[in-house]
Amino acid sequence: LEDLTRTFNEALSGINTVGENVTQRADEAAEASGRAITNMDAWGKSIKRGTDDLTTASSKLADDAKEAANSVKRQTDSLSKTSQQASEITDALKELAQKSGHEDFLRRMSLVSEGLESIAIDINRIMETRITEDDWKRYNRGDNSVFLRKILGMRNKAKLAKINQLYRSDSDFREYVIRYLGQFDELIASARRSGQEGVLGASFMTSDAGKVYMVLQSALAREIGGEAKDEEPDPA
């Protein structure tokens, strides 16, 4: 009986020890489980914050990309508008330059015309052309081509020969003719330089002044050719 009692007590002691161990392990398991839950909760919050941050960053990136695209579009539109304005300004300047060149040429042509009309008076005087009081009245009333037209009446052979003879023998006459032809030639050269040949051909070459130029050229063709020939250097 004593042995049985001792055995029972030993068994009971063992059971108590096992129970204490189980309880300890359970407490440890519960503690570990609590820590795991706490860690998982913290991890979940961390993931949520990361997700929120990523969402915010993505949204900001999208907004920045949209703003950049809009900025590029605004700059492109502005550049296109500026380019168009520059093109319009360039066209306007070209048109202004052409208009200014045309107007300047017309002013020069008017001045040359006045000079040619004045020279025509001297040419008629030296050629002893009959000039009436009515001619002067018309000239003073503004008909400045009246003396040019008198030279146009010299287109027959006898008159052309007289022009040629006076050109060779009378220095004053020769000076007036050279001035007339020189001013007209300079006007032709000016028209070519400024691109106004059309204006010259349409208005001036067909005017009385232009016709007188052709008459003098015709009368002095041989003299002018001879002068040019004399200027050629002698062959070595």
pLDDT in tens, the chain (236 residues): 777 677 767 766 766 676 676 677 767 766 777 777 777 777 777 777 877 777 887 788 888 888 877 877 777 777 666 556 545 544 543 443 444 556 776 777 778 888 888 899 999 999 888 889 999 999 999 888 899 999 988 888 888 899 999 999 999 999 999 999 999 888 888 877 777 766 666 677 788 888 899 999 989 875 554 443 333 333 33
Per DSSP, 233 falls in state P
Per DSSP, 144 falls in state T
Amino acid at 70: N
CB 151 within 8 A of CB 166: no
Closest CA to 66 of 52, 82, 74: 74
How much is the pLDDT for 182? 92
How much is the pLDDT for 167? 94
* Angle at which helices 221-230 and 208-219 cross, to 10°: 60
How much is the pLDDT for 90? 43
Query: For residue 165, how many other CB atoms are within 10 A of its CB?
Result: 12
Q: Where are the domains of the chain?
A: 98-230
How much is the pLDDT for 236? 31
How much is the pLDDT for 166? 92
Question: What predicted TM-score, i.e. pTM, was given to this entire model?
Answer: 0.51
Which tokens go with 49? Answer: 């914050």
How much is the pLDDT for 92? 47
How much is the pLDDT for 233? 34
